[in-house]
Amino acid sequence: MLAIIGGTGLSELQGFEQLEKLAIKTPYARAKVRLVRIGSGNKEFIFLPRHGAGHKIPPHEINYRANIAALSDLGVTAIVAVNAVGAIHGDFLPGSVAVPDQLIDYSYSRDVSFFDGKLKAVHHIDFTNPYSEPIRQRILEATEVVNSHSKMGCEVMASGTYACTQGPRLETAAEIRRLARDGCDMVGMTGMPEASLARELEIEYASLALSVNWAAGMSDAAITLEDIHEVLEGGMEFVSAVITEIVQQS
């Protein structure tokens, strides 16, 4: 079964049939994980709003373990994660999308593993390639289809390195210069430990990243929430179309 994890700008899915609201109990949180079973044509998938209903949970307080465990319990075998990111690469213009193939984790103080020696014995996963290549290709194929059959065409960067920072504040210009020297093409706050937790539970995982602004210092303009939300509103129309295509191809 496929799951879509929605991030900033995608707390709910428009234009899809809501079949069932779900609340899953896991050992990793007192509160149940809230999800929705969604219908699209004759297909079904699970939708998980990463930041909760109404976008109330900041990146550093998301219970990533509970979220991924709940998806696993529902029989999810593949995840397409939608991430809003700041652009570092010069060709990654705000409003365009990327399908990263690498990441660097700069976050801290998060519960990063199911194999912590408590509920599960210590185990080390191979994380050489953090994203599932088959799922990445499904996303890229879907973007090509949407671009070829739609007037909402969007530039797509077929690879790139995602930098995951702690948040919830945005980065300083000096921090972005460091990320650029490290080889990062985009910066977000939710890519980890989501990706590695999915790998631990053998769930195929890949990201569809929407560039919502130039990262700090990459442009002379100030970063404003108004500008970010304006890009989100336009970009999520394309993202929703891509999700529809991915679901229909599953």
Local confidence band at 12 (pLDDT 50, 70, 90 cut-offs): low
Local confidence band at 11 (pLDDT 50, 70, 90 cut-offs): low
Q: Report the alpha-carbon distance of residue 151 to residue 163 in Å, rounded.
A: 31
Query: What's the pLDDT tens digit per position in 101-140?
Result: 999 999 999 999 999 877 777 888 999 999 999 999 999 9
Q: Report the alpha-carbon distance of residue 239 to residue 210 in Å, rounded.
A: 8
Quote the tokens at residue 91: 């060709």
Q: Is the peptide bond prior to 193 cis by the omega test (within 30 degrees of 0)?
A: yes
Q: What is the pTM of this model?
A: 0.92
Quote the tokens at residue 16: 């899809």
Query: What's the pLDDT tens digit per position in 62-97?
Result: 999 999 999 999 999 999 999 999 999 999 999 999
**Helices and strands, counts by H and E, the chain:** 5, 11
Q: Report the alpha-carbon distance of residue 64 to residue 198 in Å, rounded.
A: 10
Q: Is the pLDDT of residue 147 over 80?
A: yes
The domain locations on the chain are: 2-249
How many residues would you count in the chain? 250
Q: Is the pLDDT of residue 9 over 70?
A: no
pLDDT of residue 194: 98
Q: Report the alpha-carbon distance of residue 86 to residue 26 in Å, rounded.
A: 32
pLDDT of residue 120: 75
Pick the CATH number of 2-249 from 3.90.1150.10, 3.40.50.1370, 3.40.50.11890, 3.40.50.1580: 3.40.50.1580
Q: Report the alpha-carbon distance of residue 153 to residue 42 in Å, rounded.
A: 26
Query: What's the pLDDT tens digit per position in 163-185?
Result: 999 999 999 999 999 999 999 99
Q: Phi/psi of residue 247, each to 5°?
A: -65, -45
